[in-house]
Amino acid sequence: MLGVLIKIAFRNLKEHKAKTLIIGVLITLGIAILVVGNSFTDTIKKGIEKNYIQNYTGNLFIASSAIKDPSLIISNELFESTPKILPDFPAIQKHVESLSEVTGTTGQINGVALGKWNDVGESFMILFGLDSTSYQNLFPTGVKLTDGEFLKEGESGIVLSKMVADMFKQSSGNDIQVGDSIVLTSMNTVSGAKIREVTVKGIHDYGDASFDLSYVCFIDQDTLRILNGMVLNTANSLNLTGEEASSLGALDEESLFGSSPLGGDDAFFVSDSAETESSFLESSVDDWTNILGDTSQRAFLNETDPNAWNYLLVKVTDQNKAEKVVKELNTYFTDNNIEAKAWNWLDGAGMSAQLADTLSIVFNVLLFVIAIVAVIVIMNTLVISVSERYGEIGTMRAIGAKKSFVRQMISLETLMITLVFGVIGVILGIIILLVLRGVGIQAPNQFMQILLGGDVFRPVVSFQAIVLSLITVSVVGLIASLYPVSVALKVSPLEAMNKG
C-alpha cells in the first residue's frame, strides 16, 4: 500500500513541476535561513556561556534572597545601597562544598567607587572584593594581567582594569603606574561617604569582554568591606570606661566656652610672651600626634566582618547538572529557613549575556512568523494543485478509493516535498556556514564585538539547529496539507469527475 502511495505521489509531483519547484524553493530558503540563524545564535550563546562560566560567574551562584537584581557585575542596587550580605556564609559554603557535583567555590563582594589619582585623574570603577587564592583557583584563566601582579593572600591593594587605567590617563594626561596610590570614594547610601587609599598592584585586561566587565577592578575584601560598611562594630558598640564617662558627664557649656562671648579667659588664647612662644616651638612631634588621642576606637569601628560576603560563586562538574543543583540548594534553604537563594549563571552574567539570550528568543519568534507565512503559501499552492486534480481524485473515489487513501496521498506528497527540499535547505545552510567560518565575519563596532565575542566571528554548525529545522519543516508540511486535504474530501466523486 505504501509503495503504491509513494509511486502515485511521486508521479503527481513530477507532473506539476512548476508548483513543486515554487514550494521547494520556499522551503529550501526557509530551512537554510533557519539553520544559519540558529547556528549563529547557538554559537554566540555557547561562546558567552563558556566564557562567563569559566572566567566570571561559575555555573551558579548564591546570594541573599532579599536582593531584587541578582547581577554579579553591576545592578541598580549598587547605586542605591550595598548588595545584601549573604547570611550564614560559612555554613552555606560548607554545605555547598559537600555536594558531589561541586568542584569549587569562592566568595565575592561587589561595590562601586570613584577613583582619584594625583588630584586630577578620575574614573568610575566596579569593584570585586575577593579572596585572591580561592578566586584564582576557581577562575585560573579569568584574570589576564598586562602589568604588575595579582593580589596576594592578606595583601591590601587593587588591580585596575585597562579601561579604568585608560580613563585615568585620559583625565590626567599621564599613565598610571604599578605602585601608585589612588583614593577611592564609596558610592552608596548605606555606609555613607567612605574614603580609602589603596596601592595599584597590577593592571588587567578582559579583552573582548562586555562593556560592563571592562570597568571591573579587583580589590582585597577587607578594603571593600570598609567602603561598603561591612564592619563588626558600630558607634553604639563602644564601651566607655567609668573615667571616660565621668569626664564626659562633667563637661558643660561653661567649661567649654567660658563666660566671655569669645570663650573663657584661657580657652582659646595664649600669652604672646617669649616663654610661651619658646615652649610652643619646642613641642615635639609626639606632642602634636597626641592631639589625635587614642585611635584604638577608630580601629575598633573599622574592624571588618570576615564572614561578610555578597555572593558565593560555585562551579560544578557539568553545566547540565547546574539546574539540578540550583533546585536542590533552594529546597535546602527553604527547609532550613535560610534567607538565601541559588541562581543560574545567566541571572548574574550582566547585560551582554542576557542580551544574547534575548536576541535568540527574538530570532526564534521571527522564525515562527516566517513559518506561519510559509504554511499559508504552501497551503494555497497545494489547494490550487488539488483543485486542478479534481477529476483524478473523483476517479479514484469512484473506483473504490477511500477518503483515508486520498488523505494519505496528499499528505505524503506534501511530506516528500518538505523533506526533500528541507534536506537541500540544510545542506545549503551548512555550506553557507562553512564559507562564513572560513572567511570570518568582521564585527563593525564595539557593540557587535561584545555580542559576537570578538573582532571576528566564526559561526559553528549546530547539530541542534539541523534537527530543529527538519522537525520544523515536517510540521509545517503536515499543517499545510490539512486544508487542501479537507477541500479534496468535501467534493463527491461524481462532482469531482464533472469538475475534472
Residues 183 and 209 in one domain: yes
470 and 324 in a common domain: no
3-class SS at 59? Answer: coil
Show Cβ contacts of residue 412 under 8 Å, excluding neighbours closer than 6 positions: 5, 6, 9
When divided into structural domains, the chain yields a total of: 2
Only one residue has cell 545584601, namely 84
Q: Are 397 and 496 in contact (CB under 8 A)?
A: yes
pLDDT tens for the 500 residues of the chain, in order? 667 667 766 676 677 677 778 878 888 888 888 888 888 888 887 877 888 888 889 999 999 998 888 888 877 666 666 678 999 999 999 999 999 999 999 999 999 899 999 888 899 999 999 999 999 999 998 888 999 999 998 889 999 999 999 999 999 999 999 999 999 998 666 666 789 999 999 999 876 656 678 889 999 999 999 988 887 654 444 444 555 444 444 444 344 334 444 444 444 344 444 444 444 444 454 554 455 555 555 555 567 788 999 999 999 999 889 999 999 999 999 999 999 999 999 888 877 677 777 777 887 787 778 777 777 877 777 777 777 777 777 777 777 778 788 788 877 877 888 888 889 999 999 999 999 999 888 877 656 666 666 677 888 888 888 888 888 888 877 887 788 778 777 767 666 666 55
Q: What is the C-alpha to C-alpha distance for residues 90 and 463, in angstroms, rounded to an integer?
A: 43
**CB neighbour list of residue 294: distance below 8 Å, 6 or more residues apart:** none
Distant-in-sequence, close-in-space partners of 371: CB < 8 Å, separation ≥ 6: 30, 472, 476
Question: Based on the domain organization, do 221 and 164 belong to the same domain?
Answer: yes
Q: Specify whether 50 is located in the same domain as 70.
A: no
Q: Where are the alpha helices (DSSP H) in 173-241?
A: 221-228
Q: Let me know if residue 423 belongs to a domain.
A: yes
Q: Is 45 in the same domain as 100?
A: no
Q: Where are the alpha helices (DSSP H) in 68-220?
A: 77-80, 89-97, 132-138, 162-172
Residues in the chain, overall count: 500
449 is written with which cell numbers? 564585538
Note down the domain range covering 18: 1-54+352-499
Beta strand pairing call for 158-161 and 181-186: unpaired
Question: Are 50 and 71 within one domain?
Answer: no
Among 242, 236, 227, 237, smallest CA distance to 186 is for 227
Residue 259 is assigned to a structural domain of this protein: no
Check: CB of residue 31 under 8 Å from CB of residue 422. yes
- Residues 19, 159, single domain; the answer is no
Same domain, 332 and 357: no
CA pair distance 361, 359, nearest whole angstrom: 5
Domain boundary among 279, 313, 338: 338
- The one-letter amino acid code at 14 reads K
Identify whether residues 36 and 180 lie together within a single domain.
no
DSSP code of residue 193 = S
- Tell me, yes or no, whether 19 lies in a domain: yes
Question: Is the pTM here over 0.85, yes or no?
Answer: no
* Same-domain check for residues 383 and 421: yes
